[in-house]
Each structure stands twice: as structure tokens, then as C-alpha cells.
Amino acid sequence: MVLTLFEEIIIMLSDTTVKLKWSEHFPPNGGKPSGDDLVSCYYDHKFIETPFGIATIEWKSWKEYDPFVVFLDGDYIDTANTEGEASEIVLNRILEIRDKAQEFIREVAS
């Protein structure tokens, strides 16, 4: 049953031209998510729900320049100079997980 779930995820992510559909921009919520905002965050943020957890991009809009910090399922991934680069970082991490899952399935199935 577990392999079937991995296989479904791999099929879903097999198209590398996929564009991630991020939430709207949310202002800092003081660590208390509400409404459509599912993320506890003290900074401006966007998020997307993935099969591997919620990915977030966070930044401090009150600063003239602030990097975009990227998390997946609460774990820091990287920092980017633009929101577009941050989105690419998330997509690349998801594809990396997909590749590892494919390798795992091949090893288990053989």
C-alpha cells in the first residue's frame, strides 16, 4: 500500500514543467494562523501544501531589502534573492525528493 502512494506522488510530479500554485500573500500573524492562512509565521509569507508538507516563503516586507527564506515542512531549505528564485528552490527540492522516492521504489521492487 505504501508503494502505491509513492508511485502516485511520482506520477503527479513527473512533469517538471509544473508551476507551483502558491497561496496569496499573508502578513505576519503573530504565530496564530487563521482563515485561509495555514502557517504560523511572524513574517510576511506565502505557502503551498505539498505531499511532503507545507512549503513556505517568508520575508520581512518592512525592510527595503530582505531575502526570501524557504522552508519545507518546517525545515529550512535555502535563502533566495527573489520570490521567483524561492519558488524554484521549493520545486527543485520536491523534484529531488521525487527522484529519491523513485530510487527507493526501484530498490524495493527489485
* Mean pLDDT of successive 10-residue stretches along the chain, which has 110 residues: 60 63 94 91 94 93 91 96 94 90 83
pTM score of the predicted model: 0.79
With respect to residue 107, please indicate whether it lies within any of the assigned structural domains. no
Phi, psi dihedral angles at 18 (to 5 degrees) = -60, 135
With respect to residue 106, please indicate whether it lies within any of the assigned structural domains. no
With respect to residue 14, please indicate whether it lies within any of the assigned structural domains. yes
Place of cell 508503494: 3
With respect to residue 105, please indicate whether it lies within any of the assigned structural domains. no
| Residues spanned by the domain of 81 | 2-97
Number of structural domains (the chain) is 1
With respect to residue 102, please indicate whether it lies within any of the assigned structural domains. no
Residue 22 three-state SS: coil
